[in-house]
Amino acid sequence: MEQFHFACPCEVYFGQNCIAKHSHVFQRFGQKAYIITSRFPDKKNLALEDVETALKKEHVLYAVNEEVQLNPSVESLIKIARQVSKFQPDLLISIGGGSAIDTAKCVNILLRYPNLDAYDVLFGKGPHIFGVGAPDDGALPLINVPTTAGTGADMTGISVITRNDIQSKSGTNRRSFGSYSFVDSRYIKGSPTELNHATAVDALCHGIESYLSRHSRDDFMTNMIAETAFQLFGEFKEHLLSNTMTAEDYDKQALHSLLQGMVIINECTGVAHGLGYPLSYYYHVPHGLACGIFEGEYVKIYKDQKRVKRIMDAIGFNTVDEFCSYIQKILAPHIHISVTSSQIEEWTQSFCKTQWRLDRHPYPLTEDMVRDIYYRSLSVFITDASSSTKTSV
C-alpha cells in the first residue's frame, strides 16, 4: 500500500441548496457574523440571499461588506479589516470568487495582529510571528461560499494578493484556512462567459501544475484526486467552449474546482501561474486566463511527456497540440493586450528571482527557457520588431 500525507482542514458541504439544508452550521460559532463579498452588477447575488436567509433562520446578527476589490491589494485588506474589527463578529463569511475569499482569509489574519505591519504578517516575517505552515488557532471561524468554480480559494490556506511594493501579485503565507465551504453549482450558473472561462481554466491549471510539480510524482492521494478532476473537466470541456453548459455540467465544473482546490492544498501552483501574474497586474487580465495562456508551452517543455500524456488522456486530448488549440480557443475572445520585448525581458528576470517556483519544477529551468515560454505564448500580442529574436529551449 502506498504511503502518503494528505491535508484538508476545511469541511465541505456540496450540492444544490446545501446552505438551506445545513443552516445550523451558521449558528455554531456565536451570534454575530460579518459577510465579506463583492457587488454583483450583472446578476443577483443568490449566494448572499441564501446566507442571509440561513442567518435569519438561526437568529444570527450580521453585517455585509460589498467592498471587495478585484485582485485585492494589501491596502484594501487593511481597510476592510478595520471595518470588521469595529463590528466584533464571532464568525466571518466570504461570498464570491477568489478575490472575496482571499480577502476574507487575509482579513482574518490581520485582525489577529492589528499592530504589526500587514506586509510582514502576510508575506514576510509572518512565520517568525506565528510559526510555519499551520492555521492560526486564534483566528475567527470562517465559512466560504464560492460563487465561481476555479480559484480553489475556499480550500487553501494561501491567498493571492496584489502587492504594490513589488508591482505584482504574490501568494501569502500558508496561514488562513476556512472552517467550512458550501459549494452550490447554482451560484456559478449564469456567470459571464469570460468569468466562467477564466475560472475553469484556472482550476485546470491548478491541477496540471500540481501534477507536474517536483513532489507530486510519488503522491498517490493527490495524483488520484487530480486525475479524477481531469476526467471531470473532459466531460464538460466542449460545452464550456461552446457556451452550452447544462445543470449537470455546472455540477461537474463545481466539483472539478473543489477537487483541484484539494490538490493545491497538498501541492502548489508552479510555472504558468508565476508567468501570468504580470498580465493580471499590468493589464488586469483575469487570473485564470493569465495563467492559461502559458500552460500549453509549459507542458511542451516538460521532460516527462509520459506524465503529461496521462493528463491529456484523462481530459480527452490526443496530443498536447490539441490541448493548446483548445486553450487558445477559450482565451482568444477575452485577451486584448499589447506587450513589448523589453517587458518580456523584465518579467523573465522577475520570474527567475522566485526561486521557490523554480525549485518546484522537477528539472532545471533556465532563464532562456522561461524567456522562450513568454515569447511563444505571447507571440500574437508582441508589438515591437525586436520580438522576432527568440531563444530556443
Give the phi and the psi of residue 82 in degrees, each rounded to 5. Answer: -65, -40
pTM (2 decimals)?
0.90
3-state DSSP assignment of residue 11: strand
Give the mean model confidence (pLDDT) for residues 162-187.
Answer: 89
* pLDDT digits 0-9 by tens, 340-349: 999 999 999 9
What is the model's pLDDT at position 367?
96
Q: Are strands 160-163 and 168-171 parallel, antiparallel or unpaired?
A: antiparallel
Q: Which residue has the cell 492521494?
A: 221
**Reduced 3-state DSSP string for 103-154:** HHHHHHHHCCCCCCCHHHHHCCCHHHHHCCCCCCCCCCCEEEEECCCCCCCC
Cell of 325: 488549440
The Cα–Cα gap between 46 and 357 comes to: 38
Task: Grade residue 176 by pLDDT with cuts at 50, 70 and 90.
Answer: confident
The Cα–Cα gap between 220 and 324 comes to: 27
The Cα–Cα gap between 318 and 159 comes to: 34
* Residue 70 CA: distances (Å) to CA of 110, 248, 341: 19, 29, 28
* pLDDT digits 0-9 by tens, 255-278: 999 999 999 988 888 999 999 999
Domains of the chain: residue spans and CATH? 11-187 (3.40.50.1970), 193-388 (1.20.1090.10)
Q: Which residue has the cell 482550476?
A: 203
What is the model's pLDDT at position 391?
40
Exposed (0-12), middle (13-18) or buried (19+): which is 28, by Cβ within 10 Å? middle
- Could you tell me which of 68, 60, 72, 1 has the C-alpha nearest to residue 28? 60
Fill in the amino acid letter for 207: G
Alpha-helix runs per DSSP H in the chain: 18-21, 46-57, 74-87, 98-110, 118-122, 126-130, 193-211, 220-242, 247-266, 271-283, 287-301, 305-315, 320-331, 341-351, 355-360, 367-377
Q: Are strands 180-183 and 142-146 parallel, antiparallel or unpaired?
A: parallel
pLDDT of residue 1 exceeding 70: no
The Cα–Cα gap between 278 and 268 comes to: 19
What is the model's pLDDT at position 129?
55
What is the model's pLDDT at position 390?
46
Specify whether the CB–CB gap between 351 and 275 falls below 8 A.
yes
Give the mean model confidence (pLDDT) for residues 108-113.
Answer: 92
